Structure formats: structure tokens, C-alpha cells
């Protein structure tokens, strides 16, 4: 019992950070992943992290322990949310394309998140998830949360960083990076649709007898699918760079605590 009371508070702090990370981290936070699996993997990852890193000094169960729990939950949530943000860049790109192709009115339910998402955004999200698993990105996420204890210990100064505005500034910068990446992913098709609109406008001026509204929609859908087929082989390299940027952002967040 003495050993249990000595190490249980520290183990629970480890579990709070890792469990909150799995709540929002991509792939692990999907709706179709059973809750029992999430709790189980959080427990065993916590057991490995606590065994490897550990805590030499016992943590007292006093009034400050509740603040430590909240602090660890916030650290896990922010780390997982940074990774999730870069997956939303794929859906942002799909939303841009859907608006131009006319698919914006036909949203579907994303089985990974349970929310309504654009058609092409959901399609690209599935591709990104499969490539993420093929690149062993889920192993890198597990490695990141386990190694975070080496740079963000239990006695971190998260509340001071929040008060100084460094966390908020970093999240705003990360969100702007995600939005720009989403626009870059959709830029080739957006440019093609813009040129298509210019061509249809010239056709309407040269030959007014053509009904542009009738031929414009099928033409955009045809051009969109043709470009998607041509760009599909390059998604492997595009998403690999995207995942690299995601891991770099997580490393930069950890760097806020280490200087």
C-alpha cells in the first residue's frame, strides 16, 4: 500500500495527459474507434511512459494536485489538437474545391469525426488517414507523447505560458499555417476552375446562344475529376510534407517550454 500511495498520484498525472491526447489526436479520436480501446491504449502507454521516464520524487495529494491534473489535461489536449489541425487542412482544401465544382451543397457525414464534411474533403481525409498509417505516423504520435515528458515535465509552467500569451500566439500561428496549407492543396484546381470561368465568360460573349449555366456545371465537374486523377499520384509526397510540418509544429510547441 505504501508503494501504491507513493506512485499512484504521479501515474494518474501521466494518465491524464496521455488520455486527453488520445481524445483529440487524429486516428485515435475517430468515432469508430471503441472507447474501451482508447482507455486501454491510454493505460498501457501511460504504464510504459511512467516506467521509462518515471518520477523519482513522490507527488503529494494536496490542494495543488487538482491544478496539476488540469495542467496535464491541457498539455495533452493542445498536443493532440495541433496534430488534428493539420488533418483539417485536407478538409479545408476539399471545401474550397467543392464550392467551385458545385459539390458544396452535398455534404456527407464524416465517419471519423461524426460531423458534416464536404464530399472531396471527406475523400481526401480518408486518403490522408490511410497514408498516415502507411507512413507509421501513429507510431510517431505515440513516440511524441511519450517523449514529451522529457521536455515538458510534470512541474511545467503551462499556466505562466498561457498568462503571457505564448500559447495563444503559437495556436494562432499554427492555425494560419494550416489554412495556408489547405489553400495550397486546393490551388491547382482553384486555378483551373478560374480559367474555366474565364473561358465560359468569353464563350458567353462570343456565342450568346449557348446556355452557360447548363454546360458550365458538367464541364467543371469533368475538369475537376480529370485533375484529381492527374494529381492523385502526387498526394503521397504532398501528405508526407504535411505530416512533417505537423510533427515540426508539435516540436515547436514543446520548444516553448525548453526555450
Per domain, the residue ranges of the chain are 2-258
Quick check: 2 pLDDT over 70? Answer: no
Residue length, the chain? 259
CA distances from 226 to 97, 164, 219, 222, 245 (A): 13, 50, 11, 6, 28
The residue with cell 480559367 is 195
109 beta partners? 116
**What is the pTM for the complete model shown?**
0.83
Looking at beta carbons, which pairs linking 135-139 to residues 24 or more positions away fall under 8 Å?
Answer: 135/240, 135/243, 137/27, 137/243, 138/27, 138/28
| pLDDT tens digits along 205-227 | 887 777 777 787 888 888 888 88
Say how many C-beta atoms besides its own lie within 10 A of residue 252's C-beta. Answer: 13
| pLDDT tens digits along 184-204 | 888 888 888 888 888 888 887
Q: The C-alpha cell of 241 is what?
A: 510534407
CA–CA dist 94, 108 (Å, integer): 12
CA–CA dist 175, 122 (Å, integer): 20
Task: Please tell me whether residue 117 adopts helix, strand or coil conformation.
Answer: strand
| pLDDT tens digits along 50-86 | 888 766 567 777 778 888 889 899 999 999 999 999 9
| pLDDT tens digits along 17-36 | 999 999 898 888 887 888 88
The residue with cell 498516415 is 132
Q: Where are the alpha helices (DSSP H) in 102-165?
A: 119-134, 137-151, 158-164
Amino acid at each position: 500500500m505504501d508503494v501504491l500511495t507513493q506512485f499512484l498520484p504521479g501515474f494518474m498525472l501521466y494518465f491524464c495527459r496521455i488520455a486527453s491526447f488520445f481524445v483529440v489526436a487524429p486516428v485515435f479520436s475517430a468515432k469508430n474507434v471503441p472507447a474501451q480501446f482508447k482507455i486501454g491504449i491510454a493505460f498501457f502507454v501511460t504504464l510504459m511512459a511512467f516506467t521509462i521516464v518515471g518520477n523519482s520524487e513522490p507527488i503529494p495529494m494536496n490542494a495543488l494536485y487538482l491544478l496539476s491534473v488540469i495542467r496535464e489535461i491541457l498539455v495533452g489536449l493542445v498536443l493532440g489538437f495541433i496534430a488534428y489541425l493539420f488533418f483539417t487542412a485536407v478538409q479545408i482544401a476539399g471545401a474550397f474545391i467543392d464550392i467551385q465544382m458545385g459539390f458544396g451543397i452535398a455534404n456527407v457525414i464524416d465517419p471519423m469525426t461524426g460531423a458534416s464534411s464536404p464530399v472531396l474533403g471527406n475523400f481526401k481525409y480518408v486518403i490522408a488517414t490511410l497514408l498516415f498509417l502507411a507512413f507509421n505516423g501513429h507510431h510517431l504520435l505515440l513516440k511524441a507523447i511519450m517523449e514529451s515528458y522529457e521536455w515538458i515535465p510534470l512541474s511545467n509552467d503551462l499556466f505562466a505560458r498561457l498568462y503571457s500569451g505564448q500559447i495563444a500566439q503559437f495556436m494562432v500561428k499554427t492555425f494560419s499555417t494550416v489554412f495556408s496549407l489547405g489553400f495550397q492543396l486546393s490551388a491547382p484546381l482553384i486555378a483551373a476552375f478560374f480559367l474555366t470561368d474565364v473561358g465560359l465568360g468569353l464563350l458567353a460573349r462570343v456565342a450568346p446562344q449557348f446556355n452557360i449555366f447548363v454546360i458550365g456545371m458538367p464541364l467543371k465537374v469533368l475538369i475537376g475529376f480529370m485533375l484529381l486523377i492527374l494529381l492523385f499520384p502526387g498526394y503521397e509526397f504532398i501528405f508526407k510534407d504535411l505530416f512533417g510540418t505537423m510533427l515540426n509544429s508539435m516540436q515547436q510547441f514543446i520548444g516553448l517550454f525548453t526555450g
